[in-house]
A and B are shown apart, each in its own frame.
Chain A
Amino acid sequence: MITVHLPRDLAAEFSCRDTLAVDGVRSLNELWAALDHRHPGLGRWLREPDGAMRRHLSLFVNAQRVRWADRGTVLEDGQEVWILRAVSGG
């Protein structure tokens, strides 16, 4: 099971909790697909059409920052994924 932490405003938009438990995923790509299946449209809010994370969002897996090029990153049971709003917004 992977634990995913979403920004609170994003969770509110999708009427879900900001901490989600996701079973049966082994990579970030599978995680995105699972999140989008559970909350249709969520993937579009997180990523560009080419799969890159949106420019002003940050992604951490077990406290390590993951760049968009690493989106095939393997996930293991018990890991935590944080999606954070970057220091942006004016």
Chain B
Amino acid sequence: MTVVMVGTYKGLFRFASPDRVHWEALGPVLRGTSVHTTAYHAPTGTLFAAANSVFYGASVRRSRDGGETWDRGGEGLAYGADDPERVTAVWSLAVADEHGPGTLYAGVEASGLFRSADGGDSWAEVAALRRHPTHEVWDAGFGGKCLHTIAVDPHDPEVLYVAASTGGIYRSGDRGDTWTPVNQGIRAEFMPEGQQYPDAGQCVHKFGLSAVQAGRIWLQNHGGVYRSDDAGRHWARISEPLPDDFGFPVVPHPRRADAAFVVPLTSTLERWYPEERLAVHRTDDGGQTWTRLDAGLPEHAYSGVLRDAFRSDTQDPLGLYVGTTNGELFASADEGASWARIAERLPRILSVQVVEGDPFA
């Protein structure tokens, strides 16, 4: 079974399929609550949701039955009483030990990182990140001052990456005890000439680590798609052939090192699709060339795709899932060659996550 978890501005919607062709819509849950992202821990069958209530605050809630029922989340997901910043939302989740007891990371607004070593019962800040001297240049982008991406290196569990907007991408080689900004070569085009390559402060929108090539990182910046082959020490801009260099998500292919997917948006203020047609673009050669994939995707489309609203599964051929800001969900079961609409008229889609297996068991 494949279940697509769709986090929206007003709740979590779920779509299940035995074959990735026929989809069943399950009732919305966490109704009225903004679900910025979700994560699934298969060994314990636990679904985690970054559930952000405008009234009652931010939380990471847990379900053991595929989202039918939820707990109220653990304790400690807050900055101290004397801290000048507050935790107003959870933006990102990462399960660090896929086969272990379930170490979790949560990225929050105002940008910071929390860790739970007990499956989400209790949380503590990974304080070294906000203590980094470059923290003072972090600021809020339009979406807020958020730590939106967390990734544990699949080739080295000691290595952790995070990205904040604005702030940029940071690397830790010791599970978060110390941090290094790895933004050199990524352009901050919103800075004056001569200051566009700072150590930190870039508006990185998303990054993804290659599961098959150690040190390879794909990154969608506010302007430009980038690739690093040395764990972020150097970056190559690879978006020249794309119709625009703006966008939010980037999805590495889980098996092919030179393949990745992006969804360009116009860098002018519309922030909808170039040529007003939703299209995914795939590279098969590390970003030298890109193939436009739009069969079955809508024309005259005036929406966007946010940073967590594009995911792949791990099946062969690869499945892809795209959610839009006007509440449409599209799926491809053939690596993007063709697409079908799974859902429409949902609230604004913030996140898409794929659960493979049966989370309802």
Bind each other: yes
| A residues apposed to B, CB below 8 Å | 7, 9-10, 13-14, 41, 44-46, 48-51, 54, 56-57, 85-86, 88-90
Q: Select one of A14, A49, A51, A85 contacting B55, CB under 8 A.
A: A85
The CA-CA distance from A57 to B57 in the complex, in Å, is 11
The CA-CA distance from A45 to B59 in the complex, in Å, is 10
Min C-beta distance of B6 to chain A, whole Å: 18
**Contact status B57-A44, CB under 8 Å:** yes
Q: Select one of B56, B80, B86 contacting A10, CB under 8 A.
A: B56
Most buried by A among B54, B56, B57, B86: B56
**Contact status A89-B54, CB under 8 Å:** yes
- The interface residues of chain A lying within 8 Å CB-to-CB of B306 are none
Q: Select one of B55, B57, B81 contacting A88, CB under 8 A.
A: B55
10 A–B pairs (Cβ distance < 8 Å), ordered by A: A10-B56, A41-B72, A44-B57, A44-B75, A48-B78, A49-B86, A54-B56, A56-B54, A89-B54, A89-B55
17 new A-B pairs (CB below 8 Å) besides A10-B56, A88-B55? A7-B55, A9-B32, A13-B56, A13-B72, A41-B72, A44-B57, A48-B57, A48-B86, A49-B78, A49-B81, A49-B86, A51-B81, A56-B55, A88-B54, A89-B32, A90-B9, A90-B54
**Contact status A45-B56, CB under 8 Å:** yes
- The interface residues of chain A lying within 8 Å CB-to-CB of B78 are 44, 48-49
The answer to whether B79 has its CB under 8 Å from any CB of chain A is yes
Min C-beta distance of A40 to chain B, whole Å: 9
The CA-CA distance from A57 to B9 in the complex, in Å, is 19
**Contact status B72-A57, CB under 8 Å:** no
| B residues apposed to A, CB below 8 Å | 9, 32, 54-57, 72, 75, 78-83, 86
- The interface residues of chain B lying within 8 Å CB-to-CB of A89 are 32, 54-55
The CA-CA distance from A89 to B33 in the complex, in Å, is 9
Min C-beta distance of A44 to chain B, whole Å: 7
**Contact status A54-B57, CB under 8 Å:** yes
Most buried by A among B54, B55, B57, B79: B55
- The interface residues of chain B lying within 8 Å CB-to-CB of A49 are 78-81, 83, 86
The CA-CA distance from A44 to B75 in the complex, in Å, is 9
A7 — nearest CB in chain B belongs to which residue?
B55
B31 — nearest CB in chain A belongs to which residue?
A9
- The interface residues of chain A lying within 8 Å CB-to-CB of B86 are 48-49
Min C-beta distance of A6 to chain B, whole Å: 11
- The interface residues of chain A lying within 8 Å CB-to-CB of B79 are 49
The CA-CA distance from A49 to B55 in the complex, in Å, is 15
- The interface residues of chain B lying within 8 Å CB-to-CB of A41 are 72, 75
The CA-CA distance from A10 to B72 in the complex, in Å, is 11
- The interface residues of chain A lying within 8 Å CB-to-CB of B56 are 10, 13, 45-46, 54, 57
- The interface residues of chain B lying within 8 Å CB-to-CB of A51 are 81
The CA-CA distance from A44 to B72 in the complex, in Å, is 11
The CA-CA distance from A14 to B55 in the complex, in Å, is 15
- The interface residues of chain B lying within 8 Å CB-to-CB of A45 are 56-57, 72
- The interface residues of chain A lying within 8 Å CB-to-CB of B72 are 13-14, 41, 45
Min C-beta distance of A1 to chain B, whole Å: 26
